[in-house]
Amino acid sequence: MKRSIKTALFGGAIFAAGIAQADGTYIIYGPSAAASSNSGGYNWENGSATQDFRAALDSPYNFGKFEHYDTVDTRIITREFGSVNLSLYHAADCIISPWWWDNDVANSAGSFAAYRISYLFQHGTDLILLSDSPYADAIGEYLGVPTQYGGTTVAISGTSFPFDGPFGTAASPNLAYSVGYLNPVDITNTGGEVLATDTLGRPVVAFWEQDAFSPGSGKMLIVTDVNSFTTAADYGAMNDNAKFALNCVAFILAENTKPGGADCDKNGVLNIDDIDCFVDSFLNGEL
């Protein structure tokens, strides 16, 4: 199809839709209290340990039109799911697993929950896994990236994102209480990259870009500690752990390479080439 015809027929509407999506909403679902009955204060729905983190994500002053920081303008909304099914595929941009006991994943979130979340991930849904132990890593284990038991509170280090990001420089974040680590071979073999290591050089934060795990897969962030994003993070004072956690989420948003963003060809410029890219994606069934 000639480019002029593409532009005339589809350009304005699709380009406008792309801008709306770039400044749109990103919905993060986590397991309900009923689906994670053994998570205690770490359950996503109403746990005392997770609520400050969840409120920080929901705040339009962090993510959205009123953001105080130089983040993407995407509005985050957090929700819960009781079971994993196809309706979640259509509703969720991202699934988060805080401290979620393996037995609850297997028995309280519907049949084959780890498999089903893996299916959603491999069909474009993003994942954030705060897997700090071998008995709270069912999803990561199913995907071939299990957590190894690492010990207790430890400082972590790395370069660039997410230590330095839109929420500030996190000079000395740490993993707190019971923590784990990942096998670097598992990360490499599944297409991921290490973002942070502990004092022994073991990977504790890893990231998978879109399509890296498998063709069509979403993005995935694994942090081998739930407390680093929850009880160790002070979102009021914005301490180093809070900066680190929000930088991690901003990293997922800023690194968005899914078709449909306003800068469709990802060259940093909004122009006629993006309209051409939109239409090609539309006609190829990618939008």
pLDDT of residue 275: 66
> Confidence band (pLDDT; 50, 70, 90) for 20?
very low
What residue ranges in 215-260 does DSSP mark as E strands?
220-223
Assess contact for 207 and 165: CB atoms under 8 A: no
The phi and psi torsions of 126 (rounded to 5 degrees) equal -80, 160
Instruction: Say what the pLDDT of residue 246 is.
Output: 94
Number of Cβ within a 10 Å radius of residue 166: 21
Instruction: Classify the C-alpha dihedral 207-211-217-219 as positive or negative.
Output: positive
Give percent above pLDDT 90 in the chain. 53
pLDDT at 221: 97
pLDDT of residue 72: 57
Cα dihedral angle (257, 259, 261, 265), rounded to 10 degrees?
Answer: 80
Q: Is the pLDDT of residue 2 over 90?
A: no
Between strands 164-165 and 168-169, the pairing is: antiparallel
Q: Tokens in use for 282?
A: 């539309």
Question: Angle formed by the axes of helices 51-58 and 240-254, to 10°?
Answer: 50
For 171-198, what is each residue's pLDDT tens digit?
889 888 888 999 999 999 999 999 999 9
Residues 109, 80 contacting (CB under 8 angstroms): no
Q: Are 69 and 107 in contact (CB under 8 A)?
A: no
Q: What is the pLDDT of residues 199-246, one digit of tens each?
A: 889 999 999 999 999 999 999 999 999 999 999 999 999 999 999 999
What are the residue ranges spanned by the domains of the chain? 1-23+259-287, 32-256
Q: What kind of fold does domain 32-256 have according to CATH?
A: Rossmann fold (3.40.50)
Close Cβ partners of 165 (under 8 Å, ≥ 6 residues apart): 243, 246, 247, 250, 251
User: What's the average model confidence in pLDDT over 156-162?
Assistant: 79
- What does the pLDDT look like over 49-60, one tens digit per residue? 999 999 999 998
Q: What is the pLDDT at residue 68?
A: 56
Residue 4, pLDDT above cutoff 50? no
Q: Which residues of 120-150 are buried (b: 16+ CB within 10 A; e: fewer)?
A: bbeeebbbbbbbbbeebbbbbbbbebbbeeb
